[in-house]
Structure 1
Amino acid sequence: MAKNSPVWLKPRNLLRISVVVALLTIVLKTLAWWLTGSVGLLSDAMESFVNLAGAMFALGMVTIAERPADEDHPYGHHKAEYFSAGFEGILVIGASIAILWAAIARLFAPQPLEQLSWGLLLSLVSTGFNGLLAWVMFRSAREHRSMALEGDARHLMTDVWTSVGVVVGLMAAKWTGWLWLDPLVAIAVALNILIQGGQLVWQSSQGLMDKALDSSERECIDAALQEFATQTGVHFDNVSTRSAGERSFVDLHMHVPGHWTVQHAAQVRSGIEAALLKVVPGLYARIEMLPMGMETHSEVADGSLPEDLGKNSA
């Protein structure tokens, strides 16, 4: 998907579509449960309510994340997206507990299923909507590095697998006459989405704690720095990275020969910034220039000098 992708594929617009699809699936799945009396379909409908709440919260957080940097938030508002993913994870966990409660009660008191064919058809139609939307959202999330969009897409895929599991369980119950298969499948589905919710909360916490960039992106940064070190004779150390939503950050020190003019050093630094931005789109680089052989006071004080690149080229 290209950067000049259609406007409707932008994160905020896709989340608006997600809200509409959630409302549609709530209607379809609630009707399916009302027709059949299946606790499995009831669990599926409850999950759709969670989808709606999650999509609305994600839309709000993406709107905040798109705000430009200001005096109180000089690095922008990109981390707002991680709150969205964490919130969706909590909602998923809450839905799984509610599903477990209803399914365990039905397991000890099975009830006959009615108008199963219509219920399954409505469930499959809503599943198709969710699956298609999740596929589009995953592609857009990778393009725009949107944690909120990825969280909502994962949530929708959880709903898809929930629906598939429910349909399989209901068909098995119909063919065998074992009514306990309906609540048993609901319990299995609840445990699965409980795991998914925990993973979302964990990913959100990692983002809020300034997780480093992926190893592939870090390798691109190191390669670009090493190339400049070889060509110019400078060396780099104290390279650290972090990600915040769609933005990526790298901080480093660039050590230059003492006889260089400030203007020449600044020109080299500008070239390095352009090279880093090319290998990692959206990267914000903060490069501090220092003379060869000198370190900042904080480095000398704590004795930590991580990641020295190109020093032997000096």
Structure 2
Amino acid sequence: MIRPLGVLAPPDPEVARLKRRVTLASLAVALTLVALKLAASVMTGSVSILSSLVDSVSDSGASLVTLIAVRQAMRPADAHHRFGHGKAEPLAALGQALFVTGSALLLCVEAVRRLITPEPVGEGPVGIAVMIFAIVATLLLVRYQDRVIARTQSLAVGADRLHYVGDLLINLGVILSILLSQYGGVTEADPVIAALIALHLIRGAWKIARGALDALMDRELPEAERAEIRKIVLAVPGVRGMHDLRTRSSSVHTFIQLHLELDAAAPLADAHGVADRVETLLHARYPDAEVITHLDPKGVAEFVPTFR
């Protein structure tokens, strides 16, 4: 049964459930760590713990935005959004990147201030205990996110995961900072490590922003996937060639458009049957896709755009 032209498949309920659960888990972990790190920051006065607190606050905001975006993106297409709502995910990811960048820049300012005016770090055991708890909680969350991403390919969940992978390094850095500052007498370690953490956050934000912009600007699918589409199409009996393949993804749905080259003398019903078989095979490979085919007689000259 061929899906009607212009009708997107409804979002997979299981995928929607997985996305909702993982984003709720992310938000719960982030809020828990915010509370613990706030207490540890007040008790120790460590700017490294403050940097980790800033990161957890940004994680909380990002996870909340991701939760809202995932719910919006999984809504089915409607009369006003015929291509669905999938771009809510990359839009949220771009917002996350901007938020993290701003937080990291503020953190850099605080680190420079602490370098100019050093302040002692106290209550080292408390800070270390909080960071160890944060590492364990974050590891469990990242493993859960990995399983969900493997099943859903969610851009928003992937962006959220990037935050928490960075957190693992950040929390290890904070532990090192406390050890060097309180027990090694290296007072500069705390603000220096905080600045390195901020630079790491900015680097991660750039990666998130680049992926989000690719989706928002309708970047083509990776060449390996485009090659697979060509292989599927050209293997269909009756297809003599293809050209002008156009692809894009909204994170939730994939959109595939192409021109099929068929025998010029083929009856319309036969040509339509070939196109139906092509669309059926592509839908089998990309269940979330909208596939649009245009039929051309083989050998008829047609302008085909070329790009560098």
- TM exceeds 0.5? yes
> 1:140 matched to which residue of 2?
148
Structure 1 pair 125/233, CA: closer, same or farther in 2 (3 Å)? closer
> 1:247 matched to which residue of 2?
253
Q: Deviations over 1:39-83 (max 9, x none)?
A: 100111111111111111111111111111111111111111011
Q: Which runs of 5+ in 2 are unaligned?
A: 1-11
Q: Which SS does the other structure have where 1:10 is aligned? A: helix
Q: Which runs of 5+ in 1 are unaligned?
A: 308-314
Pairing 1:72–2:80 present? yes
Structure 1 pair 288/98, CA: closer, same or farther in 2 (3 Å)? same
Pairing 1:174–2:185 present? no
Alpha-carbon distance, 1:119 to partner: 1.2
Pairing 1:40–2:48 present? yes
Pairing 1:262–2:284 present? no
Q: Deviations over 1:190-239 (max 9, x none)?
A: 111111112211211111000111222112111112222xx325321111
CA distance in 2, matches of 1:274, 1:77: 24
> 2:226 matched to which residue of 1?
218
> 2:206 matched to which residue of 1?
198
Structure 1 pair 69/294, CA: closer, same or farther in 2 (3 Å)? farther
Task: Map 1:1-314 to 2 at 5 A.
Answer: 10-228=18-236, 231-294=237-300, 303-305=303-305
Structure 1 pair 64/41, CA: closer, same or farther in 2 (3 Å)? same
- How many aligned residue pairs are there? 297
Q: Deviations over 1:148-182 (max 9, x none)?
A: 11111111222222111111222122332111111
Q: Deviations over 1:6-44 (max 9, x none)?
A: 789611221111111111000111111122111100111
CA distance in 2, matches of 1:153, 1:60: 16
CA distance in 2, matches of 1:6, 1:123: 34
CA distance in 2, matches of 1:127, 1:90: 25
Q: Which SS does the other structure have where 2:291 is aligned? A: strand
Q: Which SS does the other structure have where 2:117 is aligned? A: coil
> 1:312 matched to which residue of 2?
none
Structure 1 pair 72/126, CA: closer, same or farther in 2 (3 Å)? same
Runs of 4+ in 1 over 6 A off after TM superposition: 4-9
More relative contact order, 1 or 2 (CA 8 Å, 6+ apart): 2
CA distance in 2, matches of 1:176, 1:5: 54
The answer to whether the 8 A contact 1:88-1:155 is kept is no
Letter in 1 for 2:44: T
Alpha-carbon distance, 1:261 to partner: 2.3
CA distance in 2, matches of 1:233, 1:76: 30
The answer to whether the 8 A contact 1:65-1:80 is kept is yes
TM-score by length of 1: 0.88
Q: Deviations over 1:69-112 (max 9, x none)?
A: 11111111111101111011111101111111111111122222
Q: Which SS does the other structure have where 2:99 is aligned? A: helix
CA distance in 1, matches of 2:156, 2:15: 18
